[in-house]
Structures are given as C-alpha cells and as structure tokens.
Structure 1
Amino acid sequence: MKFYLRLLLFFLLFLGSYSVLVTYVHPTKIPKQSWWQHNRIRVESFLTSGRTAKYVITGSSMSDRMIPDERSGWFNLSLVGEGALTGLSVLAHSDSSAKYVFIEVNQLSVQENTKFAKENTDPFFVFTRRNFPVLLSEKQPFNFLSGTILELPNMFGFAVPVPENEKPNANAEEIQKKLKEEHLEEVTRWYGTAVERKKLEERMSVLSSLLKELESKGIRPVFFEMPMHPKILISPKESGTREITRQYFPETKYLWYFAKGGPFEDSDGLHLAYPEANRFFAELKEFAEALP
C-alpha cells in the first residue's frame, strides 16, 4: 500500500512541477512528431488562444504557409493533408467570435475529416485544454523539452550566426532546378484528371451546410484561391474544382479574392515558397481589412 501511495505522491509532484514549468517557459519552436500532431496543435491553439481572432483562414498545406503575426486579429486554421472543409467544421463547432472566414478553394475536393473535427471540438476536450495547459499537445514532454533544448543556444548567447550574401553552389542550383522540373511534371500528371463531378457536388453540399451554420453565427465567408504554378492552376483538377465552386457560390452572392500581385514563386508546383506565401497573405490582409 505504501508503494502505491509513494507512486501517487511522486506522480502528483512531477505533474505539479511540470505544470509550473510549462506555464513559465515558452519555446518559440515546438518540433512536431507527425503532421497529425501538427494539425492537432493548430486546432488546440485556435480553440484556446485563437478563438477571438476576427479573421480565420481555412485550407490545406498550401494555405498553411501563410503565417499571421500574434495578436494581429488573424488565425490560420489550415490543416496539412486536409482541405478547407475540416477547418470549417472545427470553426462551426467552436465558440469563435470570428467575423470572416477565408476558404481556400484549391483543395475543396478533399473530404471533411469528420473524426478529427469531432474529436478536437468535443466539449470535454476543449474544457481540459483551456483549463489545464499541461495537457496541450505542444506541452507533451518530448515536444516541449525538444523545443526548450533547441532554444538553449539562443538563451545563453551561443547561437551560430547565419552567413549573409553567401553565393549558392552553381552545381547544387542546377540539381535543384532539375529536381523541381521533374517534380512539376509529376504534379502535372496528378492534376491532369478532373475530380469526378458527383464527388465535387457532395463536397459542395457539405460546404453549403457548414456555411449555413457559420452565417447563423455572423461569420461571413470569403473564397480565395492560393497561387500555384500556372500549369497546375489551369489543370483539369484545379479548373474543375474552381468552376463548380463558383457555380454553387457565385461572385454575385459571395465574396471572392484572386491574387493580383503575381507571378508568385512556387517551391514544388503546388506550394508557394514561404516568403511568397506571406507576400500573397499581405494582399489578402489588405483586401480583408478594407471590408466593412
């Protein structure tokens, strides 16, 4: 009996000490063990500190590269490996006070991950994450301690300076260019077949239901398309998804935004390079913040 009491006492002592640690130590970079965990951390962050954001972005890994500043009134709820429907479902079942939701059109053919959305908006799950930060995924020992260790050089002034104006190796540049071209050819093949119309209509039906829920809460939808490589933007898959979305949610009734400051540099045909994603985000912000 004494063994179990000691074990319980040790557990409570450890939990209390760890809770204090995660309350006062905040690593800026938390390593993720999987994309699933990346998405879970994103949703937990939205349901705890991000629910007061005025503008919410929902989309796939394409939109995930737009990085809002903290306390900017923006939250990026885009989820890697998912489409906008999953993020919209999370938003619809939350107590968010958002005024606008920006919906990435590119991957609307991706089915809503109902299991993920339901698990992460369960009332008990939300309550525990808001009241016991030690339970947050980013506070799990491996993630938290890894992030803390990675920051130790900066904390003690041992950070290795990043060399400026270092010229890239010409051979390495050529190899990188060739790999990018080969990948673009592969992506072009993937996107060479349009998504089955019946499947797209099913997605539009789900989207329509979610928008009714959001609009009943006073959240106004805005559709946008992430810039991609021109070959991919005009591909059957992208064109078909865009066209049917505009049929169901025409510009005469809904707000739409298309990039104006292009061309934008992509990293792999599908995703913008990070600086370019933020350049597009600056455009999107300017448009959004001019809305009434």
Structure 2
Amino acid sequence: MSSKISKDSLPDNFYNLSFDGLSALDGLLILEKLSSSPKQVFIETNILMRREDKIFQSALFSPVMFSLKRFFESFRESHQPVEVLARITTPRKSHPDSLAFEPLKELVRDEAVYRSMLKIKIDKSTIPMPEGEVADQMGRLKKLVTQLQARGVQVVFFEVPVDPAACGLAAQVQLRQAVKKVFKPLGCKFISVPDCNGYITSDGTHLDRVSAYKFLNYFRHELEKVSSGRSVISQL
C-alpha cells in the first residue's frame, strides 16, 4: 500500500522507498548503502515476508551506476526525462494534503471478481506460515534494523488495514506476534492497525483511494504520538 501514496500527500521531509511488487527489505537495503541516515524509518508489515529482489538490487547498486548517481545529478532517476515529464504533467497543489484536482470517489468494483480474489487471499492466509521461514525473515530484518538503530535511527512498524474478512487470519496474527516478539525488545515503536471494518479495498488487500487517504490521516495522527514520546498501543 505504501507505494501507492501520492508524493504530494506526505510532508516534504518524507521519502517513500516502497516499490510496487518489491519487499520492505529492498527499501532498507537502499538505506544501508547511503552515507547519511534519516531520523525515522517506517516499515509496513503487510508484505514483510517478501524477500528482496536481487535483480533490482544488483541493477540499482552496480558499481558504475551507483557511483555516477551519487556524484552526477543528471544520472539520478528524479532527473531522468520520464520522471521530469511526470512531475510536470502531474497536477499538484502546494498544500501537503493535496489529492490532485479530481474529487475523491467511492470505488466501483465487480463484486463477483472481488469475492474471488478475496477467497484466494483468505485461503492463503488461513494456515500459519512455516515457523522456520518466519524466523529466518525476522533475522534478516533484525540485522538491518539494528544497523539503522546504531546510526541513531528510530524504527517504527505499522500495518495497513485489509478486508475485514482477512484481517485476523492465522498468517496475519502469526506475523504480528513475530514482529512484536523480535522488535519490541529493541525499542522499536509500533503504530497499531486500525479497525479494518472502516476501510474498503479494491482486491481484499489494497485500499481504495478514499480509504488510502483515510488511513494516511490516521497514520499522521498516530505518528504525532510516536514523535512526541506518547505511548502507542499496538494490536500486534
């Protein structure tokens, strides 16, 4: 879901390192390569079991291209012709909550197709994942998180709501418990998943546009608690 958030809907000091079809590990591995560190890193737990894309990482950090991107402005993706064109043609207001010019509309979906996709998700998540796979992934993530913390970065985990029928299934509960067990003792912060009944998805997993911005408002509110040091009760 994080990769779907419009750039102009986040504060200027936020950088979105989520990518369609990739893992949270891909974004964290980018941070591992950088010489500077952000103050906070937010990790979405919904797709935490995905492995990093080795082809993506290899292409991104090839010795030649990575050096060029660091020292020559024109080689960076944000200055490539396609990216520049996209910025010019995308409607944008100065206010950080800009949703472009078109009004938000409720999602119109084919319910028969939706139920089929939801059933696939439910069937896949009803059975817990192999404990060894979960432990292995938590170990890989823990290594990256502790590296960030050693550089003074605060790490915050959050979960995006899904279809209510898929919100409390065995695999989701298992992952929430695993994340809490490993990362709460490290001092990581948690933003609890809101009540899934208040959100609409397009396929059982991804929030529709109205719900995406509803969650974004919730996220900002909870972020204030994290940043101010107030406790955030997690449903993990």
Q: Provide the aligned C-alpha RMSD in A.
A: 3.4
The farther-off stretch of 192-201 and 251-260 is: 251-260
For residues 168-226 of structure 1, the C-alpha deviation after alignment (integer angstroms, 9 at most, x for no partner) is 9xxxx6x7122212221222222233221101101111111101110111111111111
Q: Percent identity?
A: 23
Secondary structure of residue in 1 paired with 2:211: helix
In the TM superposition, what is the alpha-carbon distance from 1:118 to its structure 2 partner? 4.9
Q: Check 1:251–1:278 CA distance in 2 against 1; reply closer, same or farther (3 A cut).
A: farther
> 2:40 aligned with 1:106, yes or no?
no
Match of 1:256 in 2: 190
* Mapped contact 1:84–1:107 kept (Cα < 8 A): yes
Which amino acid is 1:268 matched to? D
Q: Check 1:87–1:128 CA distance in 2 against 1; reply closer, same or farther (3 A cut).
A: same
The farther-off stretch of 123-132 and 263-272 is: 123-132
Which amino acid is 2:207 matched to? L
Match of 1:230 in 2: 164
Q: How many residues align?
A: 215
In the TM superposition, what is the alpha-carbon distance from 1:93 to its structure 2 partner? 1.8
Q: Check 1:214–1:119 CA distance in 2 against 1; reply closer, same or farther (3 A cut).
A: farther
Aligned mates of 1:74, 1:145 — CA distance in 2: 19
TM-score by length of 1: 0.62
Match of 2:5 in 1: 66
> 2:54 aligned with 1:97, yes or no?
no
The farther-off stretch of 102-111 and 123-132 is: 123-132
Larger relative CO (CA 8 A, sep 6+): 1 or 2?
A: 2
For residues 71-95 of structure 1, the C-alpha deviation after alignment (integer angstroms, 9 at most, x for no partner) is 6211111122122122111112213
Match of 1:281 in 2: 216
Equivalent of 2:174 in 218, 240, 254: 240
Structure 2's unaligned 5+ residue stretches are: 90-100, 229-236
Structure 1's unaligned 5+ residue stretches are: 1-61, 152-161
Q: Check 1:93–1:145 CA distance in 2 against 1; reply closer, same or farther (3 A cut).
A: closer
Which amino acid is 2:219 matched to? L
For residues 136-170 of structure 1, the C-alpha deviation after alignment (integer angstroms, 9 at most, x for no partner) is 456666x469859x94xxxxxxxxxx99899x9xx
TM-score by length of 2: 0.75
Q: Highest CA radius of gyration, 1 or 2?
A: 1
Aligned mates of 1:283, 1:165 — CA distance in 2: 17
